[in-house]
Amino acid sequence: MTPSLAVDKPNPLAGIAATTGSRHPPSGRWLPALILLAPSLIMLAAFTYWPVLRVIGESLLVGRFAGQGTIGFDNYRRLFVDPHFGRAAWNNLVYAAGTIGPSLGLALAFALALRETNRLNSCLRTLVVMPLMIPLVAAAALFSFILLPGDGLLDFYLHRFGLGMVNWLGDPDLALGSVIAITVWKNTGYYMLFFLAGLAGVPQDVVDAARIDGAGAFRRLRSIILPLLGPTFGFVVPIALVNALTQIDHVVTMTQGGPSDATNLLLYYIYQQAAQNYDFGLASAGTVISVGALLALSLASFRALERGIHYEG
């Protein structure tokens, strides 16, 4: 299925219009721009920029009880010696790797396999995309049952193969993997949509030419398709990174970070410090570190992809 990108009306002058548009900009007129941007800027300031400043400030404010505010790095010191934070950070790394890799890989595989538009493919694509439509807490409710030891769906059917009572969410060795699996199930369809669109932009004749020349499927993938999907990766990877940090709904409702910290993630740690322990200094320090890590990783992945695209040529 080729997604429709074009505006409704036919647009033969589109290319020309775009260039003429940028060649004659009305210069220096910032007042109309300011007025048009004002509502967005005010909102962004209130809920994105100010919070960043505020959270940095609160992270430097030391003292648990009212009237005890001094400036210092003690919150960060406490953060780094807290084994729960270290565990949450490590878990989040594992969680990120475990969700981004497989879900992107599966999404690409599904996209490649379901590339052609026919009845069956449409049907299969729909099934894979459906998880996108439900909230993560709904997925959590379903998987709470599926992963129930003994009577749950998975164990019920595994029983036929001799495996019996696996405690998917209660065994510290398996719990994070189970949470990862739920996330992969939820997100793969979403990423697949992007790959489908990206693949639609890969000219089929180039791929066919390569096949005629004798290049195997894997070679075609590596040398032609992947580089051309560069921009798609450039878009999807940061999204996947943000998701790896912010999708914790299932941890909140299913495992509460347990058992024994096995599913503690950075945002959950922050949520706990703020909502359970009322330790806003610690929660703010945690937020600063997490946001910093996210920005750094996004920048790094962006650079890496850019470089990757250029080298493949």
The full length of the chain comes to 313
DSSP 139: H
Q: CB count, 10 Å around CB of 136? A: 20
Residue 5 CB, shortest distance to other proteins, in Å, is: 6
Helices (runs of H) and strands (runs of E) counted in the chain: 16, 2
Q: Could you give the residue ranges of the DSSP H alpha helices within 160-203?
A: 172-200
Smallest gap from residue 307 Cβ to other proteins (A): 18
Q: How far is the CB of 312 from other proteins (least distance, A)?
A: 18
Tokens of 250: 């299932």
- Kindly tell me which of 73 and 278 has the beta carbon lying closer to other proteins: 278
Neighbours of 118 (CB within 10 A): 10
Closest by Cα among 243, 296, 297, 252 to 270: 252
| Rounded CA separation 59/72 (Å) | 9
Q: Which residues pair with 71 in a beta bridge?
A: 61
Q: Least distance (Å) from other proteins to the CB of residue 313?
A: 20
Residue with smaller CB distance to other proteins, 93 or 275: 275
| Between 200 and 210, CB nearer to other proteins | 200
The nearer residue to other proteins, 51 or 223, going by C-beta atoms, is 51
Residue 62, strand partner residues: 70
* CB contact set of 88 (below 8 Å; sequence gap of 6+): 257, 261, 264, 265, 266, 268, 269
Min separation Cβ 179 and other proteins, Å: 14
- Name which of 39 and 214 has its Cβ closer to other proteins: 39
CB nearer to other proteins: give 27 or 70: 27
- Cβ 243 to other proteins, closest distance in Å? 10
Shortest CB 69 distance to other proteins, Å = 14
Alpha helices per DSSP H over 45-82: 50-59, 74-81
Q: Which is nearer to other proteins, 133 or 212 (CB)?
A: 133
